Amino acid sequence: MSSPLTARAPRLRGARALFTGRDGGVSTGDHAGLNLARHVGDVEDRVQHNRALLAAEIGAPLVFVDQVHSADVHVLPATGEVPVRTADAIVTDRDDVALAIMVADCLPVLLSDPVAGVVAVAHAGRQGLLTGVLERTVEALIGLGAHPGDLEASIGPSICGACYEVSATMREEAAAVLPETWARTSWGTPSLDLRAGAAAVLEASGVARAALDVEHPCTLEDERFFSYRRAARTGRFAGVLRRA
């Protein structure tokens, strides 16, 4: 798929999936481009316009949640309007809406079971990843009929282990929960590899390694994406998923 709104379009069977970038929107200044977040100081009308562009691209109304770095998962009601809820993952078997999760260095994780016809998006930052947001997302998918062995997942553009510098204490605390996150920056200081941690969690939840797409750019290094580490005042891009 080629579109000015699509920076990356992973192939997940049973769904249409995309990761937006900065290009294609109407926001200006620090949020220049396709900023999709209302909470970062952008002009509301511009954010709404950007969201409308994305909804037109994906061909369905967008469902967002108020993200708070939690492990909470929102399962959409079977029909009707979808109120905005506080959560960091969304799960559905509906095909009349598209799920959107916003990030600017954290992991946008998209999951699809093409057999059961169930999809999910999750925001996996350090806190959410370590407190179980991905495990709970897989559990919610199973609750709607998914089978872990049929799941496919894409861990999208996010800060890489070579760039996500943290204190030595934070690294040790994270590695005590999820050893795969232990890493060093390219300049030799303590860091966290959230992608490796997420891949390990998904594999432990039953997702086959061959069904994991993890090859995406580092948001700090690639200026096509918003990055909070690069500039604290910035926009948010999104991982977007619609059941096919």
E runs forming strands in 14-81: 15-20, 62-63, 73-75
What pLDDT is attached to residue 104? 98
**Is 84's pLDDT higher than 90?**
no
**Is 189's pLDDT higher than 90?**
yes
What pLDDT is attached to residue 1? 43
What pLDDT is attached to residue 179? 98
Rounded CA-CA distance 48/183 in Å is 38
Q: What is the mean pLDDT of residues 113-118?
A: 98
Q: What is the mean pLDDT of residues 133-147?
A: 98
**Is 140's pLDDT higher than 60?**
yes
Q: Classify domain 6-159+215-243 by CATH architecture.
A: 4-Layer Sandwich (3.60)
**Is 6's pLDDT higher than 70?**
yes
What pLDDT is attached to residue 4? 82
What pLDDT is attached to residue 234? 98
**Is 209's pLDDT higher than 80?**
yes
Q: What is the mean pLDDT of residues 84-100?
A: 96
What pLDDT is attached to residue 80? 78
What pLDDT is attached to residue 106? 98
Domain map of the chain by residue range?
6-159+215-243
Q: What is the mean pLDDT of residues 101-119?
A: 98
**Is 81's pLDDT higher than 90?**
no
Q: What is the mean pLDDT of residues 57-63?
A: 96
What's the pTM? 0.96
- Give residues with Cβ within 8 angstroms of 19, minimum separation 6: 6, 7, 8, 9, 10, 108, 156, 157, 216, 237, 238, 239, 240
**Is 152's pLDDT higher than 70?**
yes
**Is 52's pLDDT higher than 90?**
yes
Q: What is the mean pLDDT of residues 61-85?
A: 92
**Is 114's pLDDT higher than 80?**
yes
- Give residues with Cβ within 8 angstroms of 12, minimum separation 6: 110, 111, 112, 114, 152, 153, 154, 213, 241
**Is 201's pLDDT higher than 90?**
yes
What pLDDT is attached to residue 83? 79
**Is 200's pLDDT higher than 70?**
yes
Q: What is the mean pLDDT of residues 207-222?
A: 96
